């Protein structure tokens, strides 16, 4: 069961919530989510919380070592996404 009240469970809604207060620098937002055993963001609470990096200029989410995890057009500024605190 996904707990939407816990902002560290990975979901589209929680990405948007964290973006409201996330640190933005060097072209990415730093987000924190529970991580599974492979270091990917988890939809369920786990024992480990990890930092992930969302690059809106390409719609990519990267892990703690900045390795590409996935692309999502919902977070791509070239596809119309407008980050809550744009540095323009």
Per-residue pLDDT of the chain (88 residues; tens, 9 = 90+): 555 589 999 999 999 999 999 989 999 999 999 999 999 999 999 999 999 999 999 999 999 999 999 999 999 999 999 988 654 4
Per the structure, the count of domains in the chain is 1
Residue 84 lies in a domain: no
Q: Are 24 and 55 in contact (CB under 8 A)?
A: no
Q: Are 72 and 15 in contact (CB under 8 A)?
A: no
Residue 69 lies in a domain: yes
Residue 54 lies in a domain: yes
Owning domain of residue 21? 12-79
Give the global pTM: 0.87
Long-range pairs for 67-73 at CB < 8 Å and ≥24 separation? 69/40, 69/41
Residue 44 lies in a domain: yes
Residue 57 lies in a domain: yes
Residue 66 lies in a domain: yes
Residue 1 lies in a domain: no
Residue 22 lies in a domain: yes
């Amino acid at each position: 069961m996904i707990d939407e009240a816990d902002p560290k469970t990975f979901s589209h809604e929680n990405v948007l919530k964290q973006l409201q207060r996330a640190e933005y620098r060097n072209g990415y937002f730093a987000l924190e989510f529970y991580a599974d055993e492979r270091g990917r963001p988890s939809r369920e609470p786990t024992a480990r919380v990890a930092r992930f990096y969302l690059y809106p200029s390409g719609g990519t989410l990267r892990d703690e070592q900045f390795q590409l995890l996935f692309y999502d057009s919902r977070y791509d500024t070239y596809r119309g996404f407008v980050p809550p605190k744009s540095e323009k």
